[in-house]
Amino acid sequence: MKKVCDEFGKRIIFLAHPRTISRINEFDLMHIIESTPLLMLHEAVGYLDFIMLLSNARLVFTDSGGVQQESCIFKVPCVTLRENTEWTETIELGVNILAGTSPKRIIECAGRMLSFHGKWQNPFGEGDAAKQIVISILKEVGGLPVANEKKGK
């Protein structure tokens, strides 16, 4: 991440699991983080705080499948630090790129995604799944008149 900060002059918030922070200390790597003013190490945050950070990000680096999907939903380009993904829709839309773990490739992909300014439709639905499930259940048990379904009730 130091190379990304240096290369692009962007601040990076590194949300790290407590075990990751422990390993950073164990391997005496904290000096690298401390010597990189644009890199902020922070223990992982709760879900709502994470969503707030994600929705205001310019770019996301992750190895998490869920974060790939959420960054797509929030219209934030993503660099995935893996060789494959279960969220192929994000790759097909061009809003996510597989960088693997090579530092050179990660920087290359970060540059590409930082220059990406495309607009895209959310491939994961309209956010009304719960409503559609309730309508289906009520129709199945005979508790929803057809007129209510059309009004969105």
Output the pTM of the full model.
0.79
Residues 27-43: tens digit of each pLDDT: 999 999 999 899 999 99
Q: Which residue has the higher pLDDT, 6 or 105?
A: 105
Q: Which residue has the tokens 């902020």?
A: 40
Helix (H) / strand (E) element for 96: namely: strand 96-98
Secondary structure of residue 77 in the 3-state scheme: coil
C-alpha radius of gyration, the chain, whole number: 20
Retrieve residue 110's tokens: 């970060």
Residue the block writes with tokens 């009730």: 153
Predicted local distance difference test score (pLDDT) of residue 4: 74
Lowest-pLDDT choice from 2-6, 131-135, 149-153: 149-153
Domains, the chain, with CATH or none:
2-120 (3.40.50.2000), 123-153 (no CATH)
